[in-house]
Amino acid sequence: MRPPARPEVSVQLCPGGPVLVRGADVVRDAGGAEHEVTRPVVAVCACGMSGRAPWCDGTHKVVAAKGAG
């Protein structure tokens, strides 16, 4: 019996923001910890400043605003 087809996983970089991951079951952080994905699309922090790592919490916008001033 064949296993069910897995959904295609795609990754989209958002300049100055998170990485959008579509179709994943798990996201593994830099330390190797696995985080279950329960949504069709998740935003993974790429700035390193999120208080909800590995997920983006919008802090990148504050960092960008401070850097622009």
Pick the stretch among 2-10, 22-30, 33-41, 43-51 that binds ligand FES (CB under 6 A): 43-51
- Taking the mean position of all CA atoms in its chain, how far away is CA 54? 6
20 contacts ligand FES (rule: CB under 6 A): no
- Minimal CA–CA distance to 7: which of 30, 39, 44? 39
Pick the binder of ligand FES from 20, 22, 27, 57 (CB under 6 A): 57
DSSP 5: P
The SS3 assignment for 41 reads strand
Q: Which is nearer to ligand FES, 22 or 59 (CB)?
A: 59
Q: Is residue 42 a contact point for ligand FES (CB under 6 A)?
A: no
